Amino acid sequence: MAGGNFTLADTALLGESSVSVSPDSFPKFPVLFLPIFRMRSPFQRLAIRLLTVVVFTIMIVREGYGQAITMTPVVDPGTRPTPKVQKARPGPWGELEYWEIWLEPPTQLVLSAAYLSEKGEWRLPLMAPDEVRRYFLTNGLTEEQVDSLLVPERVREERDWIAIQPPIELIESFTPEFRNSFYTALGKWSFNRFQDKPFALGGDTVRSLADAGRHRIPQDVIDYADRLVYQRGGQNVLTDYPQVLQKMPAMQTRLELTKLLMRARSMMVRLRITPDSDLDQLRKYWSAGRRNRDVLPILNAVASTQDVEYLDIVHLLPPNPRKYLYAYARASMAVANDFPDCFWTSFNFLEPESSDRNLDYPVNRLVGTRWLEVKEPLRFGDMIIVEEIATGEAVHACTYIADDLVYSKNGLSLLRPFVIEDLSSVLNGYLLPGKTVARYYRHRDIVNEID
């Protein structure tokens, strides 16, 4: 992403990257109401958003979602594995322990995105009937399949496009390879919402996402959804989400499925402080050259309190990441069509207050001036930027915490949370031999203090 322009890479499949085969660059969701932001006045946008939330809230309450409900575990609680606590490698950061968690977006955000009303239509630009037929034949459908698709009751003409409701039998007949090529072709038009920007599951399946937490989705629906999953750019993606919704008429389970597909992995981290801990080293590391010295009182307090050994990492972060970690960006944080992304997140990490200027691709403006390139080993607060070798354009950024842990936000969607993830997975996703490279940068104030 550059200059705040929206691309496929930014909003759904490829995160900040324009490299089409980058695995970790597949955020799961598009920006909320992007067409509305571009096409209507501020008053109209607000009215439409409020109306959408009200309508779907009424529908869900009528279905019983507003009543107390009992969530059914995926597996019996007695056999559910407890989170595996892992220990980081020893280093100047001290003794760190961490475990995996899964985040889901708030219900209101999901409703605002108007997912539950999607019909699963295929849309083409306005063209003559023989051109429509030729398009589908050229892209791999047979004469018989096109005949079943273009019956009058399945086709309607709108102001800007031709909408076609495909038979479910046709969709189910596609192989994963054909599904990828055919939907990639349809996805060149942004009005084909899920062909353009599928739900990206990364290395997961619908089943593995379901196993990560509780839900009430029938197993046969989960299995059906997985049969419609295919690969794009080396990642599992789901386009036929509207067809899966048809298997669940109840609005509450439709909402649960949508949130399940949007689950995002993060880490919870804690620092263990014992009488044997090197407190001077801990203070030096976590204060980040005095730019983060405000964490020293809580660090000293835990170290001096008897029978207290652990301090959650969130208390050692600077104000901005401390505020946003595990949370979702708000619509009010946008400036025009620009939403917080990985660059905004990383360049604001050590700042006392968030700067909206970092919404406008701050790499060219700040790298080399406020941020200076360094070599490993990395320190708390250092920035990792993955760049295209050919163009020098940055495709992703994250901030180093300790060991193999980084802080980031993948993509500019409001449905993408601020997380802690493992650096090795990030680099495995973004580093492409001969195409991209990782560079490391340190804030000039920290460099000057070290020197």
| pLDDT tens, position by position, 93-117 | 999 999 999 999 999 999 988 888 8
Residue 415: count of CB within 10 angstroms of its CB: 26
pLDDT of 81: 53
Q: Which range (79-83, 87-91, 171-175, 307-311) has the least confidence? A: 79-83
Is the pLDDT assigned to residue 276 strictly greater than 60?
yes
Residues 6+ apart with CB under 8 A from 308: 302
Please identify, in words, the CATH class of the domain defined by 274-450: alpha beta
| Tokens standing for residue 342 | 């990985």
Residue 63 predicted with pLDDT over 50? no
The band of 377, judged by pLDDT with boundaries at 50, 70 and 90, is: very high
The predicted model gives 378-382 an average pLDDT of 97
The pTM of this model reads 0.77
Cα 441 from Cα 447, distance rounded (Å): 10
Give the pLDDT confidence score for residue 450 in this predicted structure: 59
In angstroms, the CA 134 to CA 320 distance is 53
Average pLDDT rounded to a whole number, residues 23-40: 39
Side by side, which strands form the sheet with 155-157? 122-125, 161-164, 155-157
Flag whether pLDDT at 206 surpasses 60: yes
Question: What confidence score (pLDDT) does residue 360 get?
Answer: 75
Asked if the model's pLDDT at residue 34 lies above 50, the reply is no
Q: Which of 202, 188, 193, 206 is nearest to 242 (CA)?
A: 193
Predicted confidence band of residue 48 (pLDDT cuts 50, 70, 90): low
- Mean of the per-residue pLDDT values for the chain? 83
The owner of tokens 């804030």 is 443
Q: pLDDT tens for residues 123-148? A: 999 999 999 999 999 999 999 999 99
Lowest-confidence segment of 58-67, 74-83, 208-217, 280-289 by average pLDDT: 58-67
With contact defined as beta carbons under 8 Å apart, do 376 and 49 qualify?
no
**Mean local confidence (pLDDT), 54-59:** 48
Q: Provide, rounded to the nearest whole percent, the portion of the chain with pLDDT above 70.
A: 81
pLDDT of residue 118: 87
pLDDT in tens, 167-179: 999 999 999 999 9
Question: In the prediction, which pLDDT does 338 show?
Answer: 82
pLDDT at 351 over 50: yes
Query: Looking at residue 361, what is its pLDDT?
Result: 73
Specify the DSSP element, H or E, that contains 387: strand 383-388
State yes or no: pLDDT of 354 exceeds 80: yes
Polymer length in residues for the chain: 451
Q: Which three-class secondary structure state does DSSP give residue 265? A: strand
* Confidence at residue 50, expressed as pLDDT on a 0 to 100 scale: 55
DSSP code, position 25: G
Residues in Cβ contact with 159 at an 8 Å cutoff, skipping those fewer than 6 apart: none
Domains in the chain: boundaries = 274-450
d(CA 355, CA 333): 10
Q: What is the mean pLDDT of residues 313-324?
A: 96
Residue with tokens 């054909």: 178
